[in-house]
């Protein structure tokens, strides 16, 4: 009698890598489902120097490109990036530059064919706290409690990025932690790509 070895089970791929991205000129929050978060922004060479929006146009263009490069280098090539939509009500200083940065990041991801999910600021707050009008402190506290693996160090930009990343994992069917339905209502209101469905976990 000939014995044959049983077939090996199919290889199981790790869950999709998801990045949460909260674009900002001074403090872009970036969080990865692999367990890290970071905040990147334009740093003044000296305390009395103007911010990025106060630079002469040639230097401002260079600084914006350097910021864009630093962000995209940190993002890498994940399976999904969840970005916070611009707050259109914010029309103060830097709106022009923030809009450029947001669209450049979006175009970069599109060029690499990386699927993108989009949450509004209210949807992001809703997923984190259950209230769409929650303040920064409430989001920071909720993220620290529900997602302790990601050390945001009390930074609201990092906390926002973690929330966006967690919402993406939840949408893929592999939530980081069980979330109340009141919070998950944000997922049904968000904009998701049609090129990525189901988590291969």
pLDDT tops 70 at residue 90? no
Q: What is the pLDDT of residues 154-176, one digit of tens each?
A: 999 999 999 999 999 999 999 99
Confidence bin at 103 (pLDDT 50/70/90): very high
How far is it, in rounded angstroms, from Cα 163 to Cα 29?
A: 10
- Report pLDDT for 101: 97
Please report which residue ranges of the chain form alpha helices under DSSP H.
57-75, 95-111, 121-129, 136-146, 156-171, 181-189
Does the pTM exceed 0.95?
no
* CATH 3.30.420.10 matches 18-189: yes
Q: What is the pLDDT of residues 134-144, one digit of tens each?
A: 999 999 999 99
Residues in the chain: 201
Domain residues of the chain, as ranges?
18-189
Q: Read out DSSP for 157-177?
A: HHHHHHHHHHHHHHHTT--SS
- Report pLDDT for 104: 98
């Amino acid at each position: 009698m000939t014995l044959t070895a049983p077939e090996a089970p199919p290889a199981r791929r790790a869950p999709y890598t998801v990045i949460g991205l909260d674009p900002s000129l001074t403090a872009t929050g970036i969080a990865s489902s692999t367990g890290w978060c970071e905040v990147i922004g334009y740093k003044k060479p000296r305390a009395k120097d103007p911010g990025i929006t106060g630079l002469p146009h040639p230097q401002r263009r260079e600084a914006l490109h350097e910021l864009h490069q630093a962000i995209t280098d940190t993002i890498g090539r994940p399976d999904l990036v969840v970005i916070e939509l611009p707050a259109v009500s914010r029309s103060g200083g830097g709106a022009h530059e923030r809009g450029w940065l947001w669209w450049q990041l979006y175009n970069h991801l599109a060029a690499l064919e990386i699927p993108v999910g989009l949450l509004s600021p209210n949807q992001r707050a809703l997923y984190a706290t259950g209230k769409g009008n929650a303040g920064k402190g409430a989001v920071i506290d909720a993220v620290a409690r529900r997602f302790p693996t990601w050390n945001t160090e009390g930074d609201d930009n990092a906390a926002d990025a973690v929330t966006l990343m967690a919402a993406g994992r939840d949408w893929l069917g592999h939530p980081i932690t069980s979330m109340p339905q009141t919070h998950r209502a944000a997922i049904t209101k968000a904009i998701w790509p049609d090129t990525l469905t189901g988590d291969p976990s």
